[in-house]
Chains A and B, each alone.
Chain A
Amino acid sequence: MSTTGKEPVAVVGIGQTKHVAARHDVSLAGLVREAAARALADAELTWADIDAVVIGKAPDFFEGVMMPELYLADALGAVGKPMLRVHTAGSVGGSTALVASNLVAARVHRTVLTLAFEKQSESNAMWGLSLPVPFQQPLLAGAGGFFAPHVRAYMRRTGAPDTVGSLVAYKDRRNALKNPYAHLHEHDITLEKVQASPMLWDPIRYSETCPSSDGACAMILTDRAGAARSPKPPAWVHGGAMRSEPTLFAGKDFVSPQAGKDCAADVYRQAGITDPRREIDAVEMYVPFSWYEPMWLENLGFAEEGEGWKMTEAGVTELDGDLPVNPSGGVLSTNPIGASGMIRFAEAALQVRGQAGEHQVPDARRAMGHAYGGGAQFFAMWLVGAEQPGS
């Protein structure tokens, strides 16, 4: 296999909505159009400059619309153009960006609009995930019930003290205060308040859990020629990959899934990264429950096995730490599920473009966006840089 013939891909436009619990003022179409219009404005392009649209979101049951891309074609300027709809569970926002990126890399299209959204207020995500099916394991009242035992397994395996999860939540919620698009802006947040919040799915507390958000995120991806015309610095895609493994089988390691390790290794190989801990300046990681930060630090190769929680505890992942994780506030502060992965990818791109505002990591040159979904079985990641690959 050869990857040398690929067209370099650049992110030249990024747009998000202000994520909130319920956007009663817009329809689904209004929500996605707001993010898309902002991405176009950022790139200083118009709808006519877009060759194709790639859209993603999590299950259709979250809004109660079957294949909503059909209805959204008009709102996204897709009429007469190709439109693809990706759905890979919680990783979908990342996968959607990667499918769009491949269209440019393969030279099938030159400039692509990619967008992911969720308008969770139209329905109830927890019960949307809990529809009973005969002879199959239910998700046990939403995602928290499914993931809590795996967090517990991580704690037992590594000996991590039970204070680590609250440190992550406290950090991410403080970071969110610097991000005007973040859903939760808890100005009076304290570590004590996180630790005193009710236990939902032991050991996961209320304040260590992601909110349910309405929101959309869009990006404009383009080729070298498009990047050359970009009015703002582009973020270049240095590597991107997806990996999947089955939901349930005897050999699966729910604490550190092999698919996550393999996906990260593929991205690092493409990007020429040999020491991710030193060579990557910021990470936007999919952490819907706080304990997943230390877990993914190990899974992604930033920490040795059993050592992830020590990095968190030592403050390495703070905004002013050595390896800032989720400077945007992360999924713990903003979770329009289908969009959450794309927000990670977009926030990584904002960092290397130097456009992250108050939550900018100084001189971030390489950043990683990460998403996962299903029963910790679908992974999508990309690594973006300030320089064009190979330069």
Chain B
Amino acid sequence: MARYAREVAVVAFAQSDHLRRTDELSEVEMVMPVLHQVLAATGLKAGEIGFTCSGSSDYLMGRAFSFTMTLDGVGAWPPISESHVEMDGAWALYEAWVKIQTGEADTALVYSYGKSSPGSVRDVLTRQLDPYYVAPLWPDSVAMAALQAQALIDAGETDEAGLAAIGARSRASASANPHAQLSGAVAQGEYQVAPLRTGDCPPIGDGAAAVILAAGDVARRLCERPAWITGIDHRIEAHSLGLRDLTDSPSTRIAAEHAGVFESPVDTAELHAPFSSQEVVLRKALGLGGDVAVNPSGGALAANPMMAAGLIRIGEAAARIHRGESDRAVAHATSGPCLQQNLVAVLEGDRA
């Protein structure tokens, strides 16, 4: 605890059901139920929250300033202390955690959401690549992940059967997750881009998530077993794939070191690995052994709502601590092509 000025915990988590299409729902309508759920879980009203922060992407929504509409769903009146990151909600949580560390807030509401269904997310994601030299070629996200998967196979780190097992295990685990988009025995399917088959790729879906953070005794009052954030850090790498060893994730390792992951064992890991091959990279960077429950929620291979999937990893890890199913968990979020940017958090419950 001495690492930071204040003890901060995740005290509530809610997520939507993740669905292939939500044509009938606006983003506001998608976000409001999860906001109401986390507030109800803590008994807090929107006006009692010290700081609010959200994560989303205008490009998914197809319009500028899209987050101004979802803010309406928060009920920001009287005016609230609020901010937004154009990133996955895990980074919104990070900004909120920093705010609580300054002492300017004791509680924070964090939410994020994304609808991938209105467009072609494989095409949309090409727009986040180098706009002059790479984006004009429209290399899609699956093709780039396939490069990474092939590099892993070439390096002898895994093979196609090993990848298939990751997908199968994730979706089997998701059978216990009522919010998951894909669960149970899902066929490995055809190649999308070799060596990745359908079963190695995330479903495309819409969804939202929300978390409430609280400091010290406020957390103890709001939650029977708070999930204390004992460490959190994030790092970015070079953008160009040609500058990176795709079989490794140094940014995850640096973030994990700063978050204190390696100081004692973890029992649970919620990894934001949209592709089965990325779990191989992350397991290595985080030094996870076979005794760690990896993605018991099913992970991003069972539900990958863009901009919310990383926050959901933190929420799922926290929820396991709330339920007494974990004592020390690591949660991870990623952004950018082939794991360019990574956030790592350590969550711990008080021992009985």
Q: What residues of chain A have their CB less than 8 Å away from a CB belonging to chain B?
A: 1-6, 27-28, 58-74, 78-89, 95, 99, 102-103, 105-108, 128-129, 131, 133, 135-136, 241-249, 251, 257-259, 262-263, 374-375, 377-378
Contact = CB atoms under 8 A, between A and B. Distances in A.
A129 B64 contact: yes
A247 B68 contact: yes
Secondary structure call for the A interface: loop
Contacts of A81: 235-236
Nearest to A244: B82
A3 B102 contact: yes
Interface of B: 4-5, 26, 50, 52, 57-59, 62-65, 67-69, 71-72, 75-87, 91, 94-95, 98-99, 101-106, 124-125, 127-132, 135, 233-240, 243, 250-251, 254, 335-337, 340-341
A246 B76 contact: yes
A245 B130 contact: no
21 contacts: A1-B105, A3-B103, A4-B103, A28-B131, A60-B86, A61-B64, A67-B336, A68-B131, A70-B128, A71-B239, A72-B239, A73-B237, A73-B239, A80-B235, A82-B233, A88-B84, A133-B63, A242-B83, A244-B79, A247-B68, A247-B69
A95 B131 CA distance: 26
B219 to A, nearest CB: 15
A80 B98 CA distance: 20
Nearest to B50: A1
Contacts of A245: 76-80
B238 A85 contact: no
Nearest to A266: B81
Contacts of B124: 66
Contact of B132 (A27, A249, A375): A27
Contacts of B68: 89, 247, 374-375, 377-378
Given A73-B238, A80-B251, A247-B69, A128 B98 contact: no
Can you list the 5 inter-chain pairs with the closest CB atoms, starting with the nearest? Answer: A59-B64, A106-B101, A259-B79, A244-B82, A87-B86
Given A66-B57, A66-B124, A374-B68, A71 B130 contact: yes
Nearest to B131: A65
Given A79-B236, A245-B77, 18 more contacts: A2-B103, A58-B64, A59-B64, A62-B64, A66-B57, A67-B57, A71-B129, A73-B239, A73-B341, A74-B238, A85-B86, A86-B86, A87-B85, A107-B5, A107-B101, A133-B62, A243-B81, A247-B72
B76 A244 contact: yes
Contacts of B337: 70
